[in-house]
Structure 1
Amino acid sequence: MHPSVHARENPDKPAVIMAGSGEIITYGELDKRSNQIAQLYRSRGLEIGDTVAICMENHPQFFPVTWGSQRSGLIQVAISNRLTADEISYILKDSGAKLLVGSKQMLPVIDQLRAANPDVAQLVFGAGDERNMEAILESMPFTPIADERAGVDMLYSSGTTGRPKGVRLPLPEDEDIAGPNGIAMLAEMLFGFHKDCVYLSPAPLYHAAPLRWNIAVQALGGTSVVMEKFDPERALQLIEQYKCDVGQWVPTHFVRLLKLPQEIRAKYDVSSIKSAVHAAAPVPVPIKEAMIDWWGPVLNEYYAGTEGNGFVFCNSEGWLAHKGSVGQPINCQIHICDERGEEVAIGEEGQIYFESGSKFQYHNDPEKTKAATHEKGWTSLGDVGKLDDDGFLYLTDRKSFMIISGGVNIYPQEIENLLVTHEKVADAAVIGAPDDDMGEKVVAVVQPMDMADAGAELAQELEAYLRQSLSGVKIPRQIDFRAELPRHATGKLYKRLLRDEYWGKTDSKII
């Protein structure tokens, strides 16, 4: 389906509700605005296969712009609104964008981009000059363009380990804008999305998962309740207020929800939730157990990437029988390989490869594409894991985050997962830092619930806590405290920034 279909059948139904302002965009309005956007693109010379970039906060016009790109046969690049002008400029150049769509909030950065990107036109919602999007759209008709054709997104990795990689997918073979939507089909089949679902969206829309799940909701005809910024108590309020039955989360959301005082958690009715979809990283076992105890067996986990090369799924029942797993493959076969590319035995760890019919390439970077591809054509996201006898996949960590201390391979994720379950810890990152004797030593960087607790006494308490469950080689040799960790709004930790700091690299940036 497609919003244009729902606009004809139910034009007054809310497609989008902005949680902060309460602004509602109905399906009728979404269809009209996206048609105007498409008309504007054509009036500016954008043709099928061209690239348009969008860089905005969670803005009411995000979806009209996105659906306008989709029905124009364009390749849309969603860029994080947290980036600097230099970082955005890199993506504009790398993607070949001909137009940048932004918002008034982003003007200080967007203005800096003009000189560095003279060939990239700019249109800005709320601008006080010739770039004003609202004023330009007033002259655009509500009718569809003559050459409608389904477009596609090209999203960039969040750059947690280096420069972001643009994942280039071909335009859909089916040119019909209302043609099959693979993500919507998965959402319906596995996660319980439906035409009347109310979806809580707590994450930034420029990221792959929030953007694509919201698009799936609107393809099915449901309603997206979009938080401008995540706040744990506000999320509970919205679930109760709008009777949200589906939503997409990341582990840090669950941690922050569970850290709320019990009286706050008990204050709100969350019984409407039927499917809490989550990904980005495995949830620590105690955290997921606590969420299932609270919300019921409604947590549905998946493991996949922007690359779209495979999909692994696990419902609550499957997870309870295989705690710590991210599930079983749905549309692919999983291979676990050693450093030589040879498959390892069941239960042994190695790099995870997907075997599927899906193909992708990293834009302008054949070397990265080659590095992610096995000689048999399988592809990898760079993660390490293992399979059990039932074919359930367990993630160990990203290969690039592995610590080698005295010749022993140590994966930080296990240590981090345990640290965040401590009542005095809000967030934690574990990295390898240089060590003259061991090559690398394990360092934990901890964000306490209360910075007043930071110090030697808490460090000793955390070390004792870890020793109850971990072998000595995994115990951090150093525990440092920070008021906040460099975590992306999507939940991903910019561990590279911490690691570079400890290794003396001062020019590292979030990309």
Structure 2
Amino acid sequence: MASIYLDERSVSREEVLARAARGARLLHEAGVREGDAVALLLRNDFAFFEAMQATAALGAYAVPINWHGKPDEVLYVIGDAQPKVLIAHADLLATVRQELPADLAVFVVPTPPELLERFGLPLAAGRPAPGERAWQAAADACAPWDGPAVKLRSSMIYTSGTTGRPKGVQREPATAEQVAANAALLRQVWGVEPGMRALIAGPMYHASPNSYARQVLPAAERIVLQSRFDAEDTLATIARHGITHAVMVPTMFVRILKLPEAVRRKYDVSSLRWVVHTGAPCPREVKQALMDWWGPVVYETYGGTEVGTATLSTPQDWLAHPGSVGRPVPGARIAIYGDDGVPVADGVPGEIFVKVDAHPDFTYLHDDDKRRAAERDGLISVGDVGYLQDGLLYICDRRSDMVISAGVNIYPAEVEAALAQCPGVQDCAVFGIPDDEFGEVLAAAIELLPHSDATEAELRGYLAEKLAKYKIPRKFDFYERLPREESGKIFKRKLRAPYWEAAGRRI
């Protein structure tokens, strides 16, 4: 029997689907109709699957909310998406309960004790407040949903908001042809197959883990959720459950590889067959070291919340063309445009525009102008800079992160990739800060490994062996902990904003 695991708990897939069918009727009784929104303020938990499936059965949009956000950020998404229902873990609900719209129906999921312990919260924080309706009990009291067939809608994911308020990416309902094409595409990209054992290491409010979870639910023999990423626990989980498939981000690879060799050798990871990474460029040395250890099982994709999955690089592709993120998937078109709006030649960096026919078109909720501005010749930009070479796509950096210093383009991602390999460095972010002479110069924010005493001079010396002089940051700041999501993405806006505000300028 197929099962889903979280820490020491497990449920069968049949239990999840049965509660989802009852939950669909519960949502319908609460006023949810086709095209409406249902907000999910949930950590990775069984209820996340139940809520997504229940929402999909009604043809509504599930709106997963980044629970790492501050209360005003959570409330912004709720106010923008205007959901008919909110389903939330009890401890997360407590932070926004008093500010929720009066007409918003709320269902509470008790926070499991192991999650409370992991996040340092008291047991009382996991219980619903008096008068609040528990999701499980309310759903179980309903008959299974047996309403008419509806058009399939994906989750409405909110962009990360690193350059301003996040926007909801609202897709049109998928046609039958798009449903079939998308399923075939994701099977190819993620290796989805019957009997797989899948690890979901990232939070399901992100696009890739969310879509991955939807795809593996009907196919996997075992799905294992992680409530929070920990490098050694991830290896232990792979060994304990015989994980065959996983979706991860490069930061996770870096942290796993920085474990002491004696720790890494404790765990048998030979079951792994298909590990996909996405979300950010992976340093070449990191990927090579991982494949030397795990074997040729590491796949890479490029895409975005707006455009879906546009490329795939197999292990064999990458070993033959290190640094590439692969070739376009079937039905994908990719073009590179210069600042003048004209396509550039092979090997010349520019803004990446893509279109994947398997993915329905979208708009940014309440902001059609922004959607139109992102389009060129029917293709969409998600703000990345890169180039095509012999049919392969290479990524330089985010366009918003690119730094122009004395007229020279510098891509912080390249510097971050080098810094991430420096002994003693756990996390880092590189970004531009104002400079009277050069316009902008690079600054580096560094989080060291526990017990590391690496100095600025040592970091500079290490970088000098790997990078041109103009790419070495002028300023280094050391942080006890960088403002980073569990997914690995650092909020650069929070790091660089003080420098620009001090100069009387806004970014």
TM more than 0.5: yes
What is the deviation of 1:180? 4.0
**Aligned partners of 2:261, 2:43: CA distance in 1, in Å?**
32
Structure 1 Cα separation of the partners of residues 432 and 291 of structure 2: 33
Aligned to 1:485: 482
The two structures have a TM-score, normalised by structure 2, of 0.91
Residue 304 of structure 1 aligns to a residue in which SS?
A: strand
Q: Cα offset for 1:151?
A: 3.6
The answer to which of 495-504 and 318-327 deviates more is: 495-504
Show the counterpart of 1:113: 99
Partner of 1:443: 443
Q: Which moved more, 1:249-258 or 1:214-223?
A: 214-223
Q: Deviations over 1:246-265 (max 9, x none)?
A: 00110010000000000010
Q: Deviations over 1:40-92 (max 9, x none)?
A: 01111211111111111122211011111111111111101112221122111
Establish whether residue 13 from structure 1 lines up as the match of residue 2 from structure 2.
yes
Aligned-partner Cα distance in 2 for 1:346–1:119: 55
Check whether the contact 1:184–1:220 (CA below 8 A) recurs between aligned residues: no
Shifted more, 276-285 versus 348-357: the winner is 348-357
How far 1:139 moved relative to its partner? 1.8
**Correspondence list, 1:197-346, <5 A:** 197-308=196-307, 311-330=310-329, 331-346=331-346
1:452 positional shift: 5.2
Q: Is the 8 A contact 1:335 1:352 kept in 2?
A: yes
CA distance in 1, matches of 2:502, 2:437: 21
Count of residues paired in the alignment: 483
Q: Helix, strand or coil for the counterpart of 2:381?
A: coil
- Map of 1:56 onto structure 2: 42
2:375 to 354, 373, 376: 373
Query: What letter matches 1:120 in structure 2?
Result: L
CA contact (8 A) 1:69 1:75 kept: yes
Rate the CA distance shift 1:274–1:356 in 2: closer, same or farther, 3 A. Answer: closer
* 8 Å CA contact 1:38, 1:145 repeated in 2: no
Q: CA offsets per residue over residues 356-381 of structure 1, 9 Å max, x none?
A: 4452211111222122111x121111
Change (3 A) 1:221 1:446: closer
Structure richer in strand, relative to its length? 2
- Paired AA for residue 313 in structure 1: L
- CA deviations 1:230-287 (Å, max 9, x no partner) are 1111111111111000001100100000000000101100000001110001100000
Shift of the 180–441 alpha-carbon distance from structure 1 to 2, 3 Å rule, reads closer
Q: In the aligned structure 1, how far is the partner of 2:373 from the partner of 2:253?
A: 34
Deviation of residue 383 (structure 1)?
Answer: 0.1
Shift in CA distance, 505/183, structure 1 to aligned 2, threshold 3 Å: farther
Q: Give distance in 1, aligned partners of 2:481 and 2:451.
A: 10
Displacement, 1:148?
Answer: 4.0
Distance in 2 (alpha carbons) for counterparts of 1:492 and 1:171: 29
Is 1:463 aligned with 2:449? no
For residues 181 and 226 of structure 1, do their structure 2 counterparts lie closer, same or farther at Cα, with a shift above 3 Å needed?
farther
Contact 2:16 2:46 in 1 (8 A): no
Give the unaligned 5+ runs of structure 2. 111-127
1:118-157 to 2 correspondences below 5 Å = 118-126=102-110, 127-128=128-129, 129-141=131-143, 143-149=144-150, 150-157=152-159
Q: Tell me the distance in 2 between the aligned counterparts of 1:164 and 1:339.
A: 25
Contact 2:406–2:440, Cα closer than 8 Å, also in 1: yes
Is 2:66 the partner of 1:80? Answer: yes
Matches of 1:208 and 1:435 in 2, distance apart? Answer: 36
Shift of 1:310: 5.1
**Structure 1 residue runs without a partner (length 5+):** 1-11, 507-511
Can you list the C-alpha shifts for 1:331-388, whole angstroms capped at 9, x where unaligned? 31211111111011111100001144452211111222122111x1211110000111
Residue 418, structure 1, aligned to residue 418, structure 2: yes
Partner of 1:475: 472
Q: Report SS of the residue matched to 2:157.
A: coil
**1:3 aligned partner:** none
- Structure 2 residue identity aligned to 1:502: Y
Secondary structure in structure 2 of the residue aligned to 1:36: helix
Where 1:484 maps in the other structure, the secondary structure is coil
SS of residue matched to 1:379: strand
Contact 1:79 1:206 in 2 (8 A): yes
Question: Which residue, 496, 499, 503 being the options, matches 1:502?
Answer: 499
| Contact preservation (8 Å) 2:19, 2:140 | no
**Is the Cα–Cα contact under 8 Å of residues 183 and 212 in structure 1 kept in the other structure?**
no
Question: Is 1:382 the counterpart of 2:377 in the alignment?
Answer: no
User: How does the TM-score come out when normalised to structure 1?
Assistant: 0.90
Structure 2 CA distance for partners of 1:505 and 1:367, relative to 1, 3 Å: farther
Kept in 1, the 8 Å contact 2:303–2:311? The answer is: yes
Cα distance per residue 1:137-191 (max 9 Å; x no partner): 23212x233224234311111112221111111123349xxx9465543342233
Q: Report which stretch shifted further, 415-424 or 214-223.
A: 214-223
The alpha-carbon deviation at position 131 of structure 1 amounts to: 2.5
Structure 1 residue 214 displacement after superposition: 1.3
- How has the CA–CA distance of structure 1 residues 356 and 58 changed in structure 2, closer, same or farther, with 3 Å as cutoff? closer
Q: Does 1:41 align with 2:43?
A: no
Given that 1:314 and 1:326 are in contact with CA atoms closer than 8 Å, whether structure 2 keeps it comes out as yes
Q: Which amino acid aligns with 1:100?
A: L
Distance 1:355 1:215, change over 3 A: closer
> 1:348 is matched with which residue?
348
State the partner residue of 2:397. Answer: 397
Amino acid at match of 2:21: N
> Once structures 1 and 2 are overlaid, which stretch shifts more, 459-468 or 127-136?
127-136
In 2, Cα distance between equivalents of 1:326 and 1:404: 25
Q: How far did 1:130 drift?
A: 3.2
SS of residue paired to 2:418: helix
Q: Is the 8 A contact 1:71 1:151 kept in 2?
A: no
Q: Deviations over 1:289-340 (max 9, x none)?
A: 1000010010000001111355111011101111111111113121111111
CA distance in 2, matches of 1:323, 1:488: 28
- Aligned partner of 2:121 in structure 1 is none
CA distance, structure 2, for counterparts of residue 219 and residue 147 of structure 1: 21
Computed over aligned residues only, the root mean square deviation of the Cα atoms, in angstroms, reads 2.0
Is residue 204–residue 490 contact of structure 1 (8 Å, CA) maintained in 2?
Answer: yes
Which residue is equivalent to 1:196? 195
Q: Which residue of 1 aligns with 2:366?
A: 364
Q: Retained in 2: the 8 A contact 1:36–1:140? A: yes
Aligned partner of 1:160 in structure 2 is 162
